[in-house]
A and B are shown apart, each in its own frame.
Chain A
Amino acid sequence: MAREEDDEGAARWAVRLDAGPISATQERELEAWLASDERREGALLRARAALEYLNRGRALSGAFHEEDVPRRLNRRSMIGSLMAAGAAACVGVLMLFPRERRIDTEVGEIRQMPLEDGSVATLNTASKLSVQMKERERLVRLEGGEAWFRVAPDKTRPFVVQAGEVRVQAIGTAFSVRRRDEGTDVLVTEGTVEAWVVGREGDRKIITAGSRGLVEQGVPIAVATAPEEIDRALAWRSGQLSLDGETLDYAVAELNRYNRQKLIVDDPALGRQQLVGYFYTGEPENFAKTVAWMIGAEVIEDGDTIRIARK
Chain B
Amino acid sequence: MEPDRDLEMHVQTRSGIIAWVGSNIIPFEGELRAWLRRMRISEDEIEDVVQDAYLSITKLSSVAHINSGKNYFFQTAKMALFQRLRRERIVPIDRLVEIEALKVADVAPDPEVRTSARMELERVRRLIAALPERCREIFELRRIEGVPQREIAARLGLPEHTVEQQAARGLKLILKAIAMEDAACEARSQRPKEMPSGARRG
Enumerate chain A interface residues (CB-CB to B < 8 A): 1, 3, 7-8, 10-12, 14-16, 18-20, 38-39, 41-43, 45-58, 60-61, 63-65, 67-68, 70, 74, 88, 90-91, 94-96, 98, 101-103, 106, 108-111, 113-114, 116, 239, 260-261, 280-283
Q: Which among A12, A54, A70, A261 has the highest number of chain B CB atoms within 10 Å?
A: A54
Q: How far is the CA of A278 from the CA of B169 in the complex (A)?
A: 38
Interface residues on B, range: 35 or more
Do A42 and B23 have beta carbons less than 8 Å apart?
no
A12 neighbours in B (Cβ, 8 Å): 164, 168
Q: How far is the CA of A47 from the CA of B144 in the complex (A)?
A: 17
Q: Which of B54, B117, B171 contacts A45 (CB 8 A)?
A: B54
B91 within 8 A of A: no
B134 within 8 A of A: no
B26, closest chain A residue (CB): A53
Kindly list 13 other residue pairs between chains A and B, CB separation below 8 angstroms, not including A7-B172, A50-B26, A280-B118.
Answer: A38-B55, A42-B52, A43-B51, A50-B175, A51-B171, A52-B19, A52-B21, A54-B127, A57-B144, A58-B146, A67-B151, A70-B148, A95-B14
Do B148 and A68 have beta carbons less than 8 Å apart?
yes
A50 neighbours in B (Cβ, 8 Å): 22, 26, 171, 174-175, 178
Do B172 and A45 have beta carbons less than 8 Å apart?
no
Tell me, rounded to whole Å, the shortest Cβ–Cβ distance linking A229 to chain B: 23
Can you name 28 A-B residue pairings with CB atoms under 8 Å? A3-B51, A11-B172, A11-B175, A15-B171, A20-B148, A20-B149, A39-B52, A42-B53, A42-B54, A42-B58, A45-B54, A47-B175, A51-B22, A52-B19, A53-B23, A55-B143, A56-B124, A60-B118, A61-B121, A65-B148, A68-B146, A94-B10, A94-B14, A101-B16, A103-B16, A108-B114, A239-B121, A282-B117
B11, closest chain A residue (CB): A96
Q: How far is the CA of A162 from the CA of B178 in the complex (A)?
A: 39
Enumerate chain B interface residues (CB-CB to A < 8 A): 1, 10-16, 18-19, 21-23, 25-27, 47, 51-58, 64, 111-112, 114, 116-118, 120-121, 124-125, 127-128, 139, 142-151, 160, 164, 167-169, 171-172, 174-175, 178, 201
Q: How far is the CA of A95 from the CA of B12 in the complex (A)?
A: 8
Do A65 and B52 have beta carbons less than 8 Å apart?
no
Do A96 and B10 have beta carbons less than 8 Å apart?
yes
B13, closest chain A residue (CB): A98
Q: How far is the CA of A41 from the CA of B54 in the complex (A)?
A: 8
Do A53 and B51 have beta carbons less than 8 Å apart?
no
Do B22 and A42 have beta carbons less than 8 Å apart?
no
Q: How far is the CA of A111 from the CA of B144 in the complex (A)?
A: 13
B26 neighbours in A (Cβ, 8 Å): 46, 49-50, 52-53
Do B175 and A67 have beta carbons less than 8 Å apart?
no
Tell me, rounded to whole Å, the shortest Cβ–Cβ distance linking A12 to chain B: 4
Given known contacts A52-B22, A57-B124, A103-B16, A64 and B146 CB-to-CB distance under 8 angstroms? yes
Q: Provide the main secondary structure of the chain B interface.
A: helix
Do A57 and B121 have beta carbons less than 8 Å apart?
yes
A304, closest chain B residue (CB): B112
A8 neighbours in B (Cβ, 8 Å): 168, 172
Tell me, rounded to whole Å, the shortest Cβ–Cβ distance linking A260 to chain B: 6
Do A283 and B144 have beta carbons less than 8 Å apart?
no
Tell me, rounded to whole Å, the shortest Cβ–Cβ distance linking B122 to chain A: 9
Do A108 and B117 have beta carbons less than 8 Å apart?
yes
Q: Which of B15, B114, B139, B150 contacts A88 (CB 8 A)?
A: B15
Q: Which of B10, B27, B111, B164 contacts A15 (CB 8 A)?
A: B164
Given known contacts A51-B22, A54-B143, A90 and B118 CB-to-CB distance under 8 angstroms? no
Q: How far is the CA of A307 from the CA of B142 in the complex (A)?
A: 42
A111, closest chain B residue (CB): B23
Do B146 and A282 have beta carbons less than 8 Å apart?
no
Query: What 9 pairs across the A-B complex have the smallest Cβ distances?
Result: A52-B22, A42-B55, A49-B21, A42-B54, A57-B124, A282-B116, A65-B146, A68-B146, A60-B121
Do A98 and B143 have beta carbons less than 8 Å apart?
no
Q: Which among B23, B56, B164 has the highest number of chain A CB atoms within 10 Å?
A: B23
Q: How far is the CA of A111 from the CA of B117 in the complex (A)?
A: 10
